[in-house]
Amino acid sequence: MVPNLTGYWKMISNDNFEEYLKALDVNIAIRKIATLLKPDKDIVHEGDHIIIKTLSTFKNYNMDFYVGQEFEEDLSGVDDRKCMTTITWEGDRLVCVQKGEIEGRGWTHWVEGDELHLVRKHHAVCEEH
């Protein structure tokens, strides 16, 4: 059974984030700003429909999707790329695969206790918080 991710989640740590951004070729100014932020996640999870809002003082990012259905994701303001994204459940983990200009990119969310975990991946580096 998959967990319900609905909730408001505060960032506790952000390990290896700058290395991840470097691997995505994000410019240094944006990297420096991004590493100072502690974005929160506001998630609404109703069946296969999930809305993940990443909220920060610099930029907010909304992701609205149905599990298992590929969609075009516009990463303007993140790293200014578009990709085809598919998000599925692997056991109790929500796994994202992003296909486009940068291959081997995606992330995984899961809950342990009262904490939401996120690992971002790129073929060259992983970043966890």
Domains, the chain, in order of start with CATH, read 7-128 (2.40.128.20)
Distance in angstroms (rounded) separating the CA atoms of residues 44 and 62: 11
pLDDT bucket at 79, cuts 50 / 70 / 90: low
Place of tokens 């342990």: 112
pTM attached to this predicted model: 0.83
Strand-pair partners of 51: 44, 64
Write the CB contacts of 42 (distance below 8 Å, at least 6 apart in sequence): 8, 9, 52, 53, 55
**How do residues 45-65 score in pLDDT, each as one tens digit?**
999 999 999 898 878 889 999
- Is residue 71's pLDDT more than 80? yes
Place of tokens 């991946």: 121
**How do residues 16-38 score in pLDDT, each as one tens digit?**
777 777 777 777 887 777 777 78
